[in-house]
Structure 1
Amino acid sequence: MKTKKKFKLLKIIRNIMLFVVAVLLIVMSGNGIMTMYEHKQYPAWGQYVEVKGKKMHVYTKGTKGRTIVMLPGLGTAAPVLDYEPLLNELAKHNKVVVVEPFGYGWSDLTNEKRTVDNIVGELRSALQQAGIPGPYTLLSHSASGIYSVYYANKYPDEIEAIAGIDITLPQAVEYFKESVPGIPAYMSLIAPSGVARLVAYINPSDFLPKADKGTYSDENIKLTKMITAWKAYNKDVVNEANEMERNINATKEMTFPPNLPVIIFAPKIDKVTEDGKSNITFYEEQLKNVSTHQLIVLKGHHYLHWTHYKKIADDVNAFLSASPARPF
């Protein structure tokens, strides 16, 4: 009798497991089919260039003034869409370029390690393949501050200014005595499994810009959800996050070149350490030896360009206009 009950219980467990596996397979298959359909239905806004045998998406708007290259923060699924309001404002007076790194937006995934040298090398190659000559003003958000500093130090003749939106800099870890967080490897399954698609549509507020209504168009929001389903926490993003500590170590001796104009936008944060350190004192320390610099503190969150895109564009334009030309 006990044997029969045990066998019946095992059969129930087996059936439940088979059902769960079947559901997962259906979701994954459906997600794969939807992704292929969406790629055909919603082509990239810009042009594709080949870098290391893979496709990178380069979007350009505007034809006059300086060439501003916008670099996304870590894990921003759709950089072109995320930057669109700021991009549109800047493009009124500049040539603005968004290079979507591997693992972002309409660009392919890659098997290349996400080292700072590889990421900057791929960026340079994409710009060259797209026929966009320097010098460039790098406009970076968050972790891409690391790549901007590396680029400006390794290829100084190609960079004429840096604009940063709450950027991460190599010296922050030592300054604040903090560790560098990573992302568990299993998170890379979120997009291919279809989980990202479900979450993006069930709870979109976790992925969409927190901005005033009308800042982002309905089309932009629809595409952002779609690309989030393709790319959220994909293997390149996970690898980039887990490479961050090594990238910081590789750049910790690099600072802003003294003759490089730098403007930084920082959110006003009340958090101050016991020894009086804050995000503002940190940026002030990093800028003190830069001959032409500006630090602008704004009320808001980490993605300041969601809510302050007009002010950021105006201030960047004014700063670049007033900055002395670098000798190249």
Structure 2
Amino acid sequence: MRVEQREVMKKRMGTRTSKALIILFKIIGVIILAIALFLAVVFTVNWISSKSEQGKIKPYGQLVPVDGKNMNVTIQGKGEEIVVLLPGYGTAAPALDFKPLVEELSPFYKVVVIEPFGYGLSDGTEKERSTKNIVNEIHEALQHLKMDRYILMGHSIAGIYGLDYVNKYANEVRAFVGIDSSVPTQFDNKDVEFPIKTVQILKKSGLSRLLMKLGADPYATLPFDDETKEQMRMLALKNMYNPSTLNEMEHINSNFKTAEHVTFPKNLPLIFFIQANSADIKDWIPLHEEQVKDSVHGKVITLEGGHYLHHTRSKEIVENVRKFMGEIERGK
């Protein structure tokens, strides 16, 4: 009797276990189906939105032939002296992003904003995003515009490209102005790991659009009108993690290493505008002071603000650049 009871109990337990497993598998199946449906909706919405936005992005500037492709540039102002602006890494629409600075510069200078390949309205490229290629392309664009004497002003990673540029084309560059510009040794000679595969998945799946939508508005407090902000949003979604900028990301470590032993020419006027309180990189100000220490005309000016100092401190930047260049001219 006891044996028979045990057998009955085993069967009941087995039946309960089977039912529990079936319910569990059904729940897992529903979850997988829900995730698949969610991703399909995200992908579809992103595809439809991207197509729609293509027709809403307003052209600006002019296209210049460079290496068989088109590079977008804007030119504003009627001054005799020329200032060439180079963006930081990943700036979606450089000509729009630099708008506050361009407005302050244009009464005194002819201002040229370069949108490298993969940025703004410029074409993408399959060429490696090495410093050498990027610098050559920028120079080719300026040569096409017949500009051969100018102040080079660059934000962030343009400090790395600018180092190569001013040495290669020393007879063309009157001065270099860095806006919280990168320094070759800022990573302490260590490689930085970038989640390239992850951002590729985010881009292709449409999740990058969703994350941007759910996150805080990066343009809310910026000094741009609503129309400009909307154009910047659409261009950010268009250019975010495109093949050209991803390739540039892959080359960041090698580009920084290549620049490690490169210095600015001693006779080149050099002025840096640096965040007064940068929590991201150790010794941010001393690193820039080291760059100017041997310069005949070198200066570091600290400003309160974020990494994009030209969004909020353009007036001070332009005032100090004009004063700096004036002092050098009078000293000749």
TM range, normalised to the smaller chain? Answer: 0.7 to 0.9
The 8 Å contact of residues 151 and 173 in structure 2, kept in 1 or not, is answered as yes
Residue of structure 1 in register with 2:257 after alignment: 249
Query: 1:211-264, CA deviations, whole angstroms, 9 ceiling, x for partnerless residues?
Result: 4xxx21111211222122122233433332331221122122211101111111
Matched, 1:182 2:182: no
Counterpart of 2:124 in structure 1: which amino acid?
L
Residue of structure 2 in register with 1:308 after alignment: 313
Counterpart of 1:74 in structure 2: which amino acid?
Y
Which of residues 271, 283, 287 is equivalent to 2:288? Answer: 283
Residue of structure 2 in register with 1:64 after alignment: 79
Alpha-carbon distance change, 152 to 225 in structure 1, aligned in 2, over 3 angstroms: same
Kindly state the Cα deviation for residue 324 of structure 1 after the two structures are TM-superposed: 3.8
Aligned residues: 315
Counterpart of 1:258 in structure 2: which amino acid?
K
Which of residues 145, 158, 162 is equivalent to 1:148? Answer: 162
Residue of structure 1 in register with 2:12 after alignment: none
Which of residues 109, 116, 121 is equivalent to 2:124? Answer: 109
Matched, 1:34 2:49: yes
For the residue of structure 2 that corresponds to 1:41, the secondary structure is coil
In structure 1, what is the Cα distance between the partners aligned to 2:58 and 2:24? 51
Counterpart of 1:165 in structure 2: which amino acid?
I
In structure 1, what is the Cα distance between the partners aligned to 2:71 and 2:93? 13
Kindly state the Cα deviation for residue 67 of structure 1 after the two structures are TM-superposed: 1.5
Alpha-carbon distance change, 163 to 209 in structure 1, aligned in 2, over 3 angstroms: farther
For the residue of structure 2 that corresponds to 1:201, the secondary structure is helix
The 8 Å contact of residues 209 and 306 in structure 1, kept in 2 or not, is answered as no
Counterpart of 1:216 in structure 2: which amino acid?
F
- What's the TM-score, normalizing by structure 2? 0.84
Residue of structure 2 in register with 1:264 after alignment: 272
Residue of structure 2 in register with 1:21 after alignment: 36
Alpha-carbon distance change, 279 to 60 in structure 1, aligned in 2, over 3 angstroms: same
For the residue of structure 2 that corresponds to 1:265, the secondary structure is strand
Kindly state the Cα deviation for residue 116 of structure 1 after the two structures are TM-superposed: 0.4
Kindly state the Cα deviation for residue 162 of structure 1 after the two structures are TM-superposed: 0.5
In structure 1, what is the Cα distance between the partners aligned to 2:216 and 2:303? 26
The 8 Å contact of residues 44 and 57 in structure 1, kept in 2 or not, is answered as no
Kindly state the Cα deviation for residue 29 of structure 1 after the two structures are TM-superposed: 3.2
Alpha-carbon distance change, 33 to 279 in structure 1, aligned in 2, over 3 angstroms: same
Residue of structure 2 in register with 1:230 after alignment: 238
Which of residues 104, 110, 124 is equivalent to 2:139? Answer: 124
In structure 2, what is the Cα distance between the partners aligned to 1:126 and 1:20? 47
Residue of structure 2 in register with 1:193 after alignment: 205
- What's the TM-score, normalizing by structure 1? 0.85
Alpha-carbon distance change, 192 to 304 in structure 1, aligned in 2, over 3 angstroms: same
Greater C-alpha Rg: 2
Kindly state the Cα deviation for residue 7 of structure 1 after the two structures are TM-superposed: 5.6
In structure 1, what is the Cα distance between the partners aligned to 2:205 and 2:288? 40
In structure 2, what is the Cα distance between the partners aligned to 1:227 and 1:199? 16
Unaligned runs of 5+ in 2: 1-14
Which of residues 179, 202, 212 is equivalent to 2:214? Answer: 202
Residue of structure 1 in register with 2:227 after alignment: 219
Matched, 1:157 2:171: yes
In structure 2, what is the Cα distance between the partners aligned to 1:52 and 1:17? 47
Q: How many percent of aligned residue pairs carry the same amino acid?
A: 36
Residue of structure 2 in register with 1:97 after alignment: 112
The 8 Å contact of residues 183 and 238 in structure 1, kept in 2 or not, is answered as no
Residue of structure 1 in register with 2:150 after alignment: 136
The 8 Å contact of residues 197 and 228 in structure 1, kept in 2 or not, is answered as no
Unaligned runs of 5+ in 1: none
The 8 Å contact of residues 32 and 192 in structure 1, kept in 2 or not, is answered as no
Counterpart of 1:304 in structure 2: which amino acid?
L
Kindly state the Cα deviation for residue 308 of structure 1 after the two structures are TM-superposed: 0.7
